[in-house]
Structure formats: C-alpha cells, structure tokens
Amino acid sequence: MSTLTIEQFLHQDYSKQTVDSYMFAINHFLKLNPKAKRYKYKNIVQYMEKISQQQPNAKYRVVILSAIKKYYDYLVMSEYRQDHPCKKLNIKVNSNQAVQVQDLFSSEELQLLLTRENRYENLDTRNNVLLNLLIYQGLTSDEIIRLNVQDVDLDAGMIYIKSSTNLNRRKLQLLAKQILLFSKYINEIRPKMLRSTTDKLIITKLGKPIAVNSIHAMIEPLKTLFPDKNLNPKTIRMSVICNWLNEKKLALEHVQVLAGHKWPGTTEKYIKVDSLQQRELINRFFPI
C-alpha cells in the first residue's frame, strides 16, 4: 500500500488552490458518508442527486464530483479498493455552463511543452512556433493551418487571425520573445523547408502546408508529461483562456476578444469557482 496521504497524492497533479478545494469537498463528503470507502456506484449517485436538488449550479456540482473521483482514485492507487465506483459518472452540463477547469493546465505546466527538443533544428524551430501559437495566443488547430506568412507582422509585433463560423477575427500581440523566434522561422528555417509554392505559415518537414492531424501528431509525444490529463490542441487552448481569466485576472470582455468568442457567455464558462464561495455553498446546503 502507498504511504502517500491523499493530499500528497493530489499535489502530484494539481495546484495548491485546487488541492485545497478538493480536500474540502472530500472531507465534507467523508464526514457525511462515514462508510464511503465501501460505497458503490448507486451510493455516489444518490449523494450527487441530493446535491443536485439543493444546488442546481452545475459548476459547483462538477467540482464536488471531481473531488470525490480523486478520492476513489487514491483508494485504488493505495490498493484499498480494486474498483473505482464512479469513474464513469459525469455531471450533465449544457453549453452555457461551466468548463471543467480543474482538468486544464496552468501557465507553468504549458511552459513545460516548450522544453522538449527535436533532433532536427528546422523541425525544432517550426514546432516551437506552433507551440507558441497554441500556448500564448490560444489559437485553434484550424486557425493555425489557415495562417499565412503575411498574417504575421513582425514590425508591429502582431498576428492577424481570420474569422471562422464559430470565432471572430482578431489581431493579437506577439510577445517580445516570440518576435525573434518567428523571424528566424519565417526568414531562415521556412525557406529551407519549403518544397512547393504556398503562403501557409506552418509547413511540414516535407515542405507542404500542415494539416490538423499533423498538429495533433506533434502534440502526441508531449502527453507523457501529463499522463493523468488529456493533452491536445483543444485542451491547450481551453487552458490558455482559463489562465487569462483566472491567473492573469484579465477582464472578461478582453478575454472574449482575445479568444475570438462571439458571445460573452462562452468566455464566462472558464471562470473558476471561488474556493471560499464553494465552501460556503457546501456548508449552507449540506451542514454537518
């Protein structure tokens, strides 16, 4: 059996704020359910149904269920249990409700994606540019493959993103450290890689415009950095938007513009539940 405490177990994957939030929900769950260690699926469903009756806001219910799931993850890891009673239990949320921000990546975690080197310098620079667009500008894979060289204005330090069916066009600022990288790629590396006539910014090692599946393939080897999380271009973008709101404390309206969202409600889904407010709600609806 593992000698790790559940709190130490959580700290392996989550920030202190998330761990504190999870521990509060777990301790509350255990106080109300002293036999929880032997609970089956139906017992947890009943508990979540009680919460649902008292607290209709899915944002809070998602956090509580996520914490309970981690409790049973810990029991399985510690060999107290062989099975996980609620691994497949999920909260139904509609498009206007919260994103499960606790499963996303912090800015520090996203930075780790840039530490992996490629043995080929050309690909290393190209991959760096691509990752930069994902973790600093929060672009979608589709937006990246549609970028042209002309969309990058190195003199102004800006990049222009075309509109799509779901997202607005926008003009995003490049960080100072990105300008040198992008300049090297556009002026030195990309011309060496080019094998056909194309204006597309990001090209493959064969010199052709990159496709969405190639972006996913480039991310695939990086998944080993986060074995317990779902790393892909979509979750990277979601993490960036979440961090703009919750780490950098940018205004909702500003983040809406940066993300290209057509409606503020879409951006609002990324706001994290305030830990203190969450505790007050749990105590109010489920006093011990």
- Domain ranges (residues) in the chain: 6-95+273-285, 107-268
Q: What's the sign of the alpha-carbon dihedral 141, 160, 128, 111?
A: negative
Return the pLDDT at 235. Answer: 94
> What are residue 61's phi and psi, to 5 degrees?
-65, -35
Residue 57 φ/ψ region, left for φ over 0, alpha for ψ in the -120 to 50 degree band, beta for the rest: beta
Return the pLDDT at 277. Answer: 59
> What are residue 100's phi and psi, to 5 degrees?
-80, 80
Return the pLDDT at 50. Answer: 86
Radius of gyration, alpha carbons of the chain: 22
Distance of CA 121 to the CA centre of its chain: 28
Beta-bridge partners for 167: 261
Tokens of 278: 């969450």
Tokens of 225: 């950095």
Return the pLDDT at 118. Answer: 65
Alpha-carbon span 211 to 236, nearest angstrom: 18
Which regions of the chain are under pLDDT 50?
95
pLDDT digits (tens, 9 = 90+) for 220-256: 999 999 988 899 999 999 999 999 998 998 988 899 9
CB 64 within 8 A of CB 282: yes
Alpha-carbon span 210 to 204, nearest angstrom: 5
Alpha-carbon span 288 to 21, nearest angstrom: 18
CATH for the 107-268 domain, from 1.10.20.60, 1.10.10.10, 3.40.50.920, 1.10.443.10:
1.10.443.10
Q: Is 209 helix (H, G, I), strand (E, B) or coil?
A: strand
Return the pLDDT at 212. Answer: 94
CB 99 within 8 A of CB 269: yes
Return the pLDDT at 148. Answer: 97
